[in-house]
């Protein structure tokens, strides 16, 4: 059986990997002339252990997915960097809020530790931060390097990956799997419309010139059900701030200056001294909402 996967992002490559593992003949095709042109190349690379709501199917799948990712990292040879996640608190109200999150996390199988860090925070983190709710076992990957490791492995195992649509003939395949990121619904159905119950969100992240040793995140917004928080994420000798999301109409939307300012304003309060922005990164993702 010949199967074609359209889209060489992390989803398409994973599908190709699984089909190949199960003995099917697979090819992968992408319209871009390079790997990582879609959102998989712009992700923050955090393996989310926690998803909201904590007992949702999405959250359970995220936890299971991490075990699978750890297995794959050994087989394919990409690195997972282990760090702590710290949800920070500035005052006694935040402390109460963090305690309530800790209670829910414990009931869902996590082992969070609430630490009082009064007076012991070193730069670059703000010395206004008084508490952190620490959860160990968070993984971070380099998204582009991970995609390349998939490509190398698949190519070694007989999967052809073509970065051009020129020789594309759908009649050559018995099955076509569409894994085109935010374009999937449109491509699979041949229509120019939103998927039902989905919207597009433009995510902006900033590379800033400073180093942190763990993921630091603001307390999740208890009012917003649909947008996720964001974080300061360690990336070697720089830090990634964000993402900050805004609803947009199409998957081709680009950020405006206000998006960048909003992300900076939101996350800069984590730091002792405002860090310099060295570059920006963005991507549009489909987000489903009930
Ligand atoms: C700012 C931001 C930060 C994120 N951070 C994280 C994170 O820390 N952790 C996490 O788990 N997730 C994160 N995500 C989400 C994650 O990046 C995506 O869920 C994931 O990358 C989606 O992968 P994909 O393969 O579906 O899409 P893509 O990577 O977009 O792949 C789709 C591929 O299809 C190709 N394609 C599109 N249209 C066509 C067509 N017509 N014909 C042929 N090929 C086509 C594209 O060129 C592309 O290569 C983040 C997303 C954003 C926007």
Condensed to tens digits (0 to 9), the pLDDT of residues 36-56 reads: 999 999 999 999 888 777 778
Residue 275: DSSP 8-state: P
Of 123-127, 173-177, 271-275, least confident by mean pLDDT is: 123-127
pLDDT score, position 273:
93
The topology (CATH level 3) of 83-137+197-288 is D-Amino Acid Oxidase; Chain A, domain 2 (3.30.9)
Percentage, residues of the chain above pLDDT 90: 69
- Rounded to the nearest angstrom, the distance between the alpha carbon of 184 and the centre of ligand 1 is 10
What is the residue-averaged pLDDT of the chain?
91
Residue 121: DSSP 8-state: P
In this predicted model, what pLDDT tens digit does every residue of 253-264 receive, in sequence order?
999 999 999 999
- State if residue 255 touches ligand 1 by the CB under 6 angstroms criterion: no
Q: Mean pLDDT throughout 121-133?
A: 90
Q: Strands, DSSP E only, in the chain?
A: 2-6, 25-29, 46-47, 81-89, 113-116, 131-140, 160-162, 175-178, 198-208, 215-217, 231-235, 238-248, 277-288
- State if residue 14 touches ligand 1 by the CB under 6 angstroms criterion: no
The topology (CATH level 3) of 2-45+142-189 is FAD/NAD(P)-binding domain (3.50.50)
Q: Is it true that 2-45+142-189 and 83-137+197-288 share their CATH fold?
A: no
Both tokens of residue 145? 């390097």
Contact of 15 with 44, CB cutoff 8 Å: no
- State if residue 27 touches ligand 1 by the CB under 6 angstroms criterion: no
Residue 63: DSSP 8-state: H
- Rounded to the nearest angstrom, the distance between the alpha carbon of 212 and the centre of ligand 1 is 26
Res. 220: pLDDT tops 70: no
Q: How confident is the model at residue 290 (pLDDT cuts 50, 70, 90)?
A: low
Q: How confident is the model at residue 226 (pLDDT cuts 50, 70, 90)?
A: very low
- Rounded to the nearest angstrom, the distance between the alpha carbon of 92 and the centre of ligand 1 is 39
Contact of 286 with 200, CB cutoff 8 Å: yes
CB neighbours (10 Å) of residue 3?
Answer: 18
CA 13: distance to chain centroid?
16
To test ligand 1's pocket by mutation, which of 181, 187, 228, 246 has the most ligand atoms within 8 angstroms of CB?
181
- State if residue 181 touches ligand 1 by the CB under 6 angstroms criterion: yes
What is the domain partition of the chain in residue ranges?
Answer: 2-45+142-189, 83-137+197-288
**What are the counts of helices (DSSP H) followed by strands (DSSP E) for the chain?**
6, 13
Task: Find residue 28's DSSP bridge partners.
Answer: 5, 161
- Rounded to the nearest angstrom, the distance between the alpha carbon of 41 and the centre of ligand 1 is 7
In this predicted model, what pLDDT tens digit does every residue of 71-115 receive, in sequence order?
999 999 999 999 999 999 999 999 998 999 899 889 888 999 999
Of 118-132, 150-164, 217-231, least confident by mean pLDDT is: 217-231
pLDDT score, position 227:
47
Element housing 103 (H / E) = helix 92-107
- Rounded to the nearest angstrom, the distance between the alpha carbon of 133 and the centre of ligand 1 is 30
Please, is 95 exposed, middle or buried when counting C-beta atoms within 10 Å of its C-beta (0-12, 13-18, 19+)?
A: middle
Res. 57: pLDDT tops 90: no
- Rounded to the nearest angstrom, the distance between the alpha carbon of 136 and the centre of ligand 1 is 27
Percentage, residues of the chain above pLDDT 70: 96
pLDDT score, position 218:
84
Atom 39, ligand 1: which residue's CA is nearest?
180
Contact of 284 with 248, CB cutoff 8 Å: yes
pLDDT score, position 63:
85
Which of 26-30, 163-167, 191-195, 266-270 has maximum average pLDDT?
Answer: 26-30
From the list 124, 123, 103, 126, the residue with the least C-alpha distance to 114 is: 103
Q: Mean pLDDT throughout 199-209?
A: 94
pLDDT score, position 219:
74
Match 């939103």 to its residue by tokens: 194
pLDDT score, position 222:
55
Question: Alpha-carbon distance 185 to 251, whole Å?
Answer: 11
């Amino acid at each position: 059986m010949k199967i074609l996967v359209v889209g060489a992002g992390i989803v398409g490559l994973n599908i190709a990997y699984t089909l190949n593992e199960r003995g099917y003949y697979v090819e992968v095709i992408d319209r871009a002339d390079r790997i990582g042109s879609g959102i998989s190349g712009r992700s923050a690379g955090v393996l989310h252990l926690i998803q909201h709501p904590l007992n949702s199917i999405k959250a359970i799948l995220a936890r299971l997915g991490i075990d699978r990712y750890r297995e794959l990292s050994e087989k394919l040879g990409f690195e997972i960097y282990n760090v702590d996640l710290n949800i920070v608190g500035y005052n006694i109200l935040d402390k109460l809020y963090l305690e309530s999150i800790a209670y829910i996390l414990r009931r869902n199988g996590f082992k969070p530790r609430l630490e009082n860090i009064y007076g012991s925070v070193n730069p670059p983190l703000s010395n206004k931060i008084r508490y952190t709710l620490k959860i160990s076992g968070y993984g971070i990957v380099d998204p582009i390097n991970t995609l390349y490791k998939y490509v190398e492995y698949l190519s070694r195992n007989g999967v052809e990956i073509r970065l051009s649509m020129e020789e594309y003939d759908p009649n050559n395949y018995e099955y076509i799997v569409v894994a085109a990121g935010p374009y999937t619904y449109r491509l699979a159905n041949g229509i120019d419309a939103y998927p039902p119950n989905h919207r597009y969100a433009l995510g902006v992240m900033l590379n800033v010139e400073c180093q942190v040793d763990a993921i630091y995140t603001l307390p999740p917004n208890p009012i917003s059900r649909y947008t996720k928080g964001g974080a300061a994420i360690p990336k070697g000798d720089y830090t990634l701030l964000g993402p900050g999301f805004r609803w947009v109409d199409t998957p081709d939307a680009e950020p405006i200056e206000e998006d960048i300012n909003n992300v900076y304003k939101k996350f800069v309060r984590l730091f002792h001294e405002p860090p310099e922005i060295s570059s920006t990164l963005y991507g549009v993702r489909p987000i489903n909402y009930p």
